[in-house]
Amino acid sequence: MRLILTQEVSGLGTPGDVVEVKDGYGRNYLMPRGLAITATRGAEKQIATIRRAREVREVRDVGQANDIKKQLEGLAVRLSARTGAGVRLFGSVTAGDIAEAVIAAGGPALDRRRIELSGPIKSTGSHQVSVRIHDDVIARVDVEVVPA
């Protein structure tokens, strides 16, 4: 099945890419979640629009990505969250929360979809988060969650 990705899918491609996947994966996972549309002749116009939008957001080259990586790894990111008894949080810290905390700490604006969490952050303390800036560049950011 030929599909056009509308959002980044880890291990498959980026928005605007035309990919060939198995029917079940496309029909049951990608399309219901809005991650892809069927590849038709009319969708070619949509591909151009998606690619233009991606080029605006995308980091231009590896040198620029390394500069952003240095900037991120030098940040002290603190995030306050509501806690219950002990160190447990009410809910969890999301990638969107981390992106906002990076901006508040004086860092660059990040796309929340580029932030990779190893698991849900549900406790206070120091946590390490990966940010995929470029295909070849991954930054490790230390995030400290403190009680609000």
pLDDT average, residue stretch 5-12: 87
pLDDT average, residue stretch 14-28: 91
**pLDDT at 2 (0 to 100):** 92
Q: Is the pLDDT of residue 129 over 90?
A: yes
- Average pLDDT value over all residues in the chain: 87
Q: What is the DSSP string of 59-97?
A: ---HHHHHHHHHHHHT--EEEEE-B-STTEEEEEE-HHH
Higher-confidence residue: 62 or 133?
Answer: 133
Task: Let me know if 77 is exposed, middle or buried by CB neighbors in 10 A (0-12, 13-18, 19+).
Answer: buried
pTM of the model: 0.66
pLDDT average, residue stretch 24-29: 96
Q: Tell me the domains of the chain and their CATH numbers.
A: 2-57 (3.40.5.10), 62-147 (3.10.430.100)
pLDDT average, residue stretch 17-42: 92
**pLDDT at 62 (0 to 100):** 77
Q: Is the pLDDT of residue 113 over 70?
A: yes
Q: Which amino acid is at 29?
A: Y
Q: Is the pLDDT of residue 27 over 70?
A: yes
What's the pLDDT tens digit per position in 45-101?
Answer: 777 777 777 666 666 677 888 888 898 988 889 999 999 877 889 889 999 999 999
